[in-house]
A and B are shown apart, each in its own frame.
Chain A
Amino acid sequence: MDDQQLDINDIYEKYYRDVYHFALYFTNNKQEAEDITQETFVKIIKSIGNLKSTDKLKTWILSITKNTAMDLHRKKKFIRLFPDWGWEKEKDSFTPEDRLIQKGEWTELQSALLSLKQQYRTVVILRGLKELSIKETAEVLGCSETKVRVDYHRALQLLKKQVLSNEEGWGLHNGQS
């Protein structure tokens, strides 16, 4: 993609999923994720002229997404954990083994993710879920790579602690806790 010929079509095609994924992980709300996606692309169109190089297009877009999500979150104070999407399983029928496995299920993780501070939530989404490199994550968050490492490590620890907080006797393997 040439610097001078940035096409919104191409940008949208290439990044709409990343933007939406970030927004959905951040909010766990389809409606809000759509709003964030829409707002993000409006901002992209407005300020694409300010972008000096397309090398950092992805991190630039994700940084707008992150800011939009945080802004919208601040404005609306929306936290709807699990809307009625009908994905919850019948817990009564689960054996203890099932419950252990279920501990790692997405609903638990998503719930725990939402309970993290935004600073940690974003680093988990970018680094852990969207698999950006340390360098890319640092670019999106506008901080040093060291801070990304530290924050990511802490965020994961908090996430695990949150997921496991109500389950006795399930220790982490590989010496983690």
Chain B
Amino acid sequence: MKKGGDYIMDNRKHESFDQRFLAPLKNRPGLEPDEIFVEKLRSELTNGSKTSIPLRQKWHWPILVPMAMAVLLFSVLSASFLGSDTSKESSENVKMADEEDKDKSDKKSEGRDIYNLIASNEGFKRVYQTVTKSTGSPTAGRELVFYFDALQKKDEKYIQDVLVFEYFENNVKEVLDYYHSADFSTLEIESVESSQHGRSLVTFNFLDNRKKDLIRKRLLVDLSDGKHIKVLDYIDPAEINFEKEAKVKVKAEYLDNNFRLGMTEKEAIQIFGSSYEEYTDSDAEDGTVKYWLYQLEADENTTSKVPNKSMVDFENLHNQKIGIQFWIGWSTDEKVMNMSMFYSLKGKIHSKILKSDGTILEDQQLTGEIILDTTPFKLDEEETIAYERFRKDPSAKHLKNIAPLSIARFYIQAQLDRDYHAQYALYTTQPERVMWSKEKHLEEALKYEESKEDILRVFEGFNEGEFVQINDTDGYVQFQNKNGLQGFSMTKDPDGVWKVNFMPMQ
């Protein structure tokens, strides 16, 4: 028995070692098949002939549109499974379109002559020959050349007629912008996959003079009625603003490098120009009396929706209709005392704020609206008197007739002052809402004491907050900051004094 038991144990040891030994391979990366391949094969197996499905054969149309969309959207994933028809084949000559095919030409192609186009442009010639050979249809080759020619000539009408937009949000301008600096003489067809119904998925590449790079692209040519070409040519939004982004980046660096606190108006105009809008401000806590707003790299006719200095025009920045919003704040002696700059790169809004005390705040976020609160948190004069009176004697009698918003501000001020006695006294005394004792509060507050910066970060935007009363005894201060809409909940005690709820931000 013992021997047998040892044998089993040894076997287990071996098995365990072997399993551990093979485990990295068992979980190797790339083990799962490409989803597009799986769907493509599934569709072919279930829709196609049950007798024969040759390797890397033609695919049926029902899967081509979603396929093409998927391929276009996930070009990295799809890069490896396409490509049975390579450009090597393109060197072979093919017959020109015969007269019959030529008659099929749509009205919109008028003025375009395939013979002239392929004679004058090597790229067009390659496209024509390869597509014609791969699809067996000179019409497909010809119509695709016409499409590229229209892109080259920025023929908006032709593009509008042939492009299919129903699947994407692209528009003609975006498509034309995308091909704006394409060198069409460098066009090469990498592969063509055709259905039996006149639709072809074409993979091609070309040199982009602006990007100084070889661009690889796919589009779907639909000639299912044998006559009218339809093209599905999806442009990734990230590609559209390439040029604008490059300009914005350069400009943002320029502003950053040339800005300094203490500049005079003359110096500012010299460096940043005189195309600014001026906003006066008499309420700024840091002493700023006016702001200049520069809106740089902005599209013509774009009007900013900025209502005042504390807002950032997220929408126009995000879609890059406005490249950069650049604010500078002026002191009474006409010197620059603060700056804030906002711009969008690769879908993210970047912000840089230089405060009058030299503090720099930098951030970037994907979505949402940035609301600036450059005014430091500070009780006003009246509030300060009431707050100090309350601190000396933390009794509710000193809070009578004080607005709930001010009481909420006392709470924040008490936290900043680390006066946790006063802070506790600002909590509601409603028995069902009391969550812990004063001792517990003091203990916890000391244990989890936060820096002033952290406290102010939590209450960023509170200055612009407003009190929302839900009913006779409940309400909250609503304010907004980078984390979104925030609420600070409060309760009216039986003595009519508004107090802060325990854990008011939750």
Residues of A bordering B, CB below 8 Å? 8-9, 12-13, 16-17, 20-21, 24-25, 30-31, 33-35, 37-39, 41-42, 45-46, 85, 87, 104-106, 109-110, 113, 124, 128-129, 156, 159-160, 172-174, 176
Q: How far is the CA of A109 from the CA of B28 in the complex (A)?
A: 10
- Stretch in B12-20, B122-130, B301-309 touching the partner: B12-20
B21 touches A174 (CB 8 A): no
- Chosen A-B contacts, 29 in total, with CB atoms closer than 8 Å, are A8-B46, A17-B33, A20-B33, A21-B31, A24-B31, A30-B34, A30-B80, A34-B33, A35-B55, A38-B41, A42-B52, A42-B53, A45-B45, A45-B51, A87-B29, A104-B24, A106-B25, A106-B27, A106-B29, A109-B21, A109-B25, A113-B25, A156-B18, A156-B21, A160-B21, A174-B13, A174-B14, A174-B17, A176-B14
Q: How far is the CA of A46 from the CA of B46 in the complex (A)?
A: 13
A110 touches B28 (CB 8 A): yes
In the complex, whether B2 has a CB less than 8 A from a CB of chain A is no
CB-CB < 8 A to A45: which residues of B? 45, 50-51, 53
Q: How far is the CA of A25 from the CA of B26 in the complex (A)?
A: 9
A9 touches B46 (CB 8 A): yes
In the complex, whether B436 has a CB less than 8 A from a CB of chain A is no
In the complex, whether B30 has a CB less than 8 A from a CB of chain A is yes
Q: How far is the CA of A87 from the CA of B81 in the complex (A)?
A: 19
A128 touches B30 (CB 8 A): no
Q: How far is the CA of A68 from the CA of B7 in the complex (A)?
A: 38
Q: Mark B459-482, 1 if CB is under 8 A from A, else 0.
A: 000000000000000000000000
A129/B26 contact (C-beta < 8 A), A12-B45, A160-B21 known: yes
- Within the complex, which residue of A17, A25, A41, A42 is in contact with B25, where a contact is CB–CB below 8 Å? A25
Q: How far is the CA of A156 from the CA of B15 in the complex (A)?
A: 11
CB-CB < 8 A to A87: which residues of B? 29-30
In the complex, whether B22 has a CB less than 8 A from a CB of chain A is yes
> What is the total of A-B residue contacts with beta carbons within 8 Å?
98
- Within the complex, which residue of A9, A17, A38, A129 is in contact with B53, where a contact is CB–CB below 8 Å? A38
Chain B's nearest CB lies how many Å from the CB of A4? 16
In the complex, whether B108 has a CB less than 8 A from a CB of chain A is no
CB-CB < 8 A to B20: which residues of A? 104
B55 touches A37 (CB 8 A): no
B22 touches A128 (CB 8 A): yes
A106/B21 contact (C-beta < 8 A), A38-B41, A174-B13 known: no
A16 touches B33 (CB 8 A): yes
CB-CB < 8 A to B34: which residues of A? 30, 34
Chain B's nearest CB lies how many Å from the CB of A143? 20
B17 touches A176 (CB 8 A): yes
- Name which residue of chain B comes closest to A44, CB basis: B45
B33 touches A105 (CB 8 A): no
A128 touches B18 (CB 8 A): yes
A46 touches B56 (CB 8 A): no
- Within the complex, which residue of A24, A30, A37, A106 is in contact with B41, where a contact is CB–CB below 8 Å? A37
Q: How far is the CA of A7 from the CA of B33 in the complex (A)?
A: 21
Chain A's nearest CB lies how many Å from the CB of B63? 14
CB-CB < 8 A to A38: which residues of B? 41, 53, 55-56
Chain A's nearest CB lies how many Å from the CB of B501? 53
Chain B's nearest CB lies how many Å from the CB of A125? 9
B50 touches A24 (CB 8 A): no
- Name which residue of chain B comes closest to A113, CB basis: B25
Q: How far is the CA of A86 from the CA of B459 in the complex (A)?
A: 45
Q: How far is the CA of A45 from the CA of B53 in the complex (A)?
A: 10
- Name which residue of chain B comes closest to A7, CB basis: B46
CB-CB < 8 A to A105: which residues of B? 24
- Name which residue of chain A comes closest to B81, CB basis: A34
In the complex, whether B42 has a CB less than 8 A from a CB of chain A is yes
* Known contacts A35-B56, A106-B28; 17 further A-B pairs (Cβ under 8 A): A9-B46, A20-B33, A21-B31, A38-B41, A41-B53, A42-B45, A45-B51, A45-B53, A106-B24, A106-B25, A109-B22, A109-B28, A110-B25, A110-B28, A113-B25, A128-B22, A129-B26
A33 touches B33 (CB 8 A): yes
- Name which residue of chain A comes closest to B46, CB basis: A9
- Name which residue of chain B comes closest to A131, CB basis: B26
Q: How far is the CA of A41 from the CA of B51 in the complex (A)?
A: 11
In the complex, whether B37 has a CB less than 8 A from a CB of chain A is yes
In the complex, whether B38 has a CB less than 8 A from a CB of chain A is yes
Chain B's nearest CB lies how many Å from the CB of A75? 11
Q: Mark B52-84, 1 if CB is under 8 A from A, else 0.
A: 111110000000000000000000000011000
B45 touches A30 (CB 8 A): no
Chain B's nearest CB lies how many Å from the CB of A109? 4
Q: Mark B139-159, 1 if CB is under 8 A from A, else 0.
A: 000000000000000000000
In the complex, whether B277 has a CB less than 8 A from a CB of chain A is no
- Within the complex, which residue of B25, B37, B45, B80 is in contact with A129, where a contact is CB–CB below 8 Å? B25
In the complex, whether B32 has a CB less than 8 A from a CB of chain A is yes
CB-CB < 8 A to A9: which residues of B? 42, 46
CB-CB < 8 A to B56: which residues of A? 35, 38
CB-CB < 8 A to B53: which residues of A? 38, 41-42, 45
CB-CB < 8 A to B17: which residues of A? 172-174, 176
> Shortest 9 CB-CB distances between A and B: which pairs?
A106-B28, A109-B25, A106-B24, A20-B33, A42-B53, A106-B25, A128-B22, A174-B13, A45-B50
Q: How far is the CA of A173 from the CA of B16 in the complex (A)?
A: 11
Q: How far is the CA of A129 from the CA of B24 in the complex (A)?
A: 10
Chain A's nearest CB lies how many Å from the CB of B50? 5
B33 touches A31 (CB 8 A): no
B30 touches A24 (CB 8 A): yes
Chain B's nearest CB lies how many Å from the CB of A76? 11
CB-CB < 8 A to B55: which residues of A? 35, 38-39
